[in-house]
Amino acid sequence: MPDVVSLIQAKRDNTRPLTGDEIGWLFGAYAKGEVADEQMAALLMAIYFNGLDGAELRAWTGEMIASGETLDLTDLGRPSVDKHSTGGVGDKVSLILAPLVASCGAAVPQLSGRGLGHTGGTLDKLESIPGWRASLSNAELTGALKSVGAVIAAAGAGLAPADRRLYALRDVTGTVESIPLIASSIMSKKIAEGTSALVLDVKTGSGAFMKQTDKAVELARTMVALGEEHGVRTRALVTRMDTPLGRAVGNALEVEESVAALSGEGPDDLMEVTYALAEHMLALAGIDADPRAAIASGRALDTYKKMIRVQGGDPDAPLPEAEYRQEALPAPSSGWLTRLDALAVGVAAWRLGAGRARKEDNVSHTAGVRCLAKPGDYVQQGQNILELRADDPARFAPALEALGAANVFAVGSQPPPRVPLVVQEMGG
């Protein structure tokens, strides 16, 4: 029988890969309390430094899936396909994409999370809608998929429960930034939710978790391989996150912009990413449909409203608004805005109350940042680039501090070159 110390040593010294049987024993012993948290934390640190090879990662992810329940989506009467984003600033694509793809005939079981730090969370955004609830039973979830075709909900406690324990350890031991551990964390939940196909949006740039493009590509390839190995048709797009996506950053602000996008009035950059993901999702689902036509006809917006109602929300109710507003970042000269740093804007929104420092923190539904100008826009000298919103005026000072660096934005004499937001595509 294996013992955990020998497994830690093997991975620490990188002398040999762990076998599938050893990984299976490890997860079983950890679940029964026979392997202590400090021992698992030591192993995670060894993995952080020495990685997991393909066979180890496949077995590791398989054990995380097997630690809980899996959903059965085979009886929905329509093909299922999901999307996952690694997170960014102003990334409200899921709010548009789920009803859009569902309106074309797919079932979209979007199990989402909450924001942490400068990146927003899909559930936090939707909870700004009066009455909307994130927690659904499995029966409610499958019922919503059958009746509407799309659902955005919190992942149930029964899906890959080992991931929650391991992530909590990674969070306090400095081992979050490990590509195999990130890939297994994301993919174990996506595979357990029972979708037949999956499209991944892996962000790269200043506002992304993976700031370096080569690391984002490596993560994307790793997740595509895991999906395919577990019978889920998987594709990945690596997309730029150097500039906030769209013009709204913050919970209710992003819902408002999502509804505008579903009404045919979405910002060009937001729609570029949304349509690229939608086309791949529909292709994997085997559906020949034009997502642009679904928005133009009003079908996508109608599906969005049904999706909100089936989860107790009122899609026609006014969204909450912040009591205080303040404009910021005056342009030093007239010219073309050539750069606006996503990370700085995201941190400012977080400090205004739109994000959280710890998972248990509350967020403000109304706080956030509106981009009054984006790269490519012409601005006049003295024109403010951003509008800050908060429930408490005391929050403006720390937000302005985050925006105080001289390199947050730039104004030039020529418009910036048009750069495609999709950097790379991969998967079958």
Residues 228-273 have pLDDT tens digits of 999 999 999 999 999 999 999 999 999 999 999 999 999 999 999 9
- Are 141 and 265 contained in the same domain? yes
Annotated active-site residue 170? The verdict is yes
pLDDT-derived band of residue 116, with 50, 70 and 90 as boundaries? low
φ, ψ at 338 (rounded to 5°): -105, -15
Q: What is the mean pLDDT of residues 120-138?
A: 93
- Are 238 and 300 contained in the same domain? yes
- Are 300 and 379 contained in the same domain? no
Annotated active-site residue 230? The verdict is no
pLDDT-derived band of residue 195, with 50, 70 and 90 as boundaries? very high
- Are 369 and 254 contained in the same domain? no
Q: How distant is the alpha carbon of residue 245 from its chain centre?
A: 13
- Are 302 and 391 contained in the same domain? no
Nearest CA among 47, 34, 36, 37 for reference residue 8: 47
Amino acid at 326: Q
Q: How far is CA 195 from CA 61, 145, 227, 230, 378, in A?
A: 16, 12, 10, 11, 44
pLDDT-derived band of residue 329, with 50, 70 and 90 as boundaries? very high
- Are 27 and 175 contained in the same domain? no
- H or E stretch covering 335: strand 335-340
Residue 138: give the domain boundaries.
81-317
Question: Residue 418 falls within a domain, yes or no?
Answer: no
- Are 208 and 193 contained in the same domain? yes
Question: Residue 66 falls within a domain, yes or no?
Answer: no
Question: Residue 425 falls within a domain, yes or no?
Answer: no
Amino acid at 87: G
Q: Which two tokens stand for residue 209?
A: 């978790």
Domain boundary among 297, 317, 337: 317
Q: Sign of the C-alpha dihedral, residues 152, 154, 158, 160?
A: positive
- Sequence-separated (6 or more) residues with CB below 8 Å from residue 396: 324, 326, 352, 388, 390
Whether the per-residue pLDDT at 309 is higher than 70: the answer is yes
Annotated active-site residue 178? The verdict is no
CATH number assigned to the domain comprising residue 350:
3.90.1170.30
Number of domains in the chain: 3
CB crowding 385-404: b at 16 or more within 10 Å, else e: bbbbbbbeeebbeebbebbe
Whether the per-residue pLDDT at 157 is higher than 70: the answer is yes
Q: Which of 94, 112, 185, 206 is catalytic?
A: 185
- Are 303 and 342 contained in the same domain? no
What mean pLDDT, rounded, does the chain reach?
A: 95
Question: Residue 149 falls within a domain, yes or no?
Answer: yes
Percent of the residues in the chain that have a pLDDT greater than 70, as a whole number: 100
Per-residue pLDDT tens digits for 26-58: 999 999 999 999 999 999 999 999 999 999 999
Annotated active-site residue 306? The verdict is no
Q: Which of 114, 170, 233, 351 is catalytic?
A: 170
In sequence order, what E strands does 88-208 have?
108-112, 150-154, 197-204
pTM of the full structure: 0.95
- Are 129 and 255 contained in the same domain? yes
Q: What is the mean pLDDT of residues 145-173?
A: 91
Q: Which of 83, 84, 306, 356 is catalytic?
A: 84
CATH number assigned to the domain comprising residue 160:
3.40.1030.10
Annotated active-site residue 339? The verdict is no
pLDDT-derived band of residue 196, with 50, 70 and 90 as boundaries? very high
Q: Does residue 158 sit in helix, strand or coil?
A: coil
Instruction: Please report the pLDDT score of residue 117 as a whole number.
Output: 65
- Are 241 and 163 contained in the same domain? yes
- H or E stretch covering 99: helix 93-103
pLDDT-derived band of residue 177, with 50, 70 and 90 as boundaries? confident
Instruction: Please report the pLDDT score of residue 110 as a whole number.
Output: 93
- Are 309 and 333 contained in the same domain? no
- Are 296 and 378 contained in the same domain? no
Domain boundary among 317, 346, 367: 317
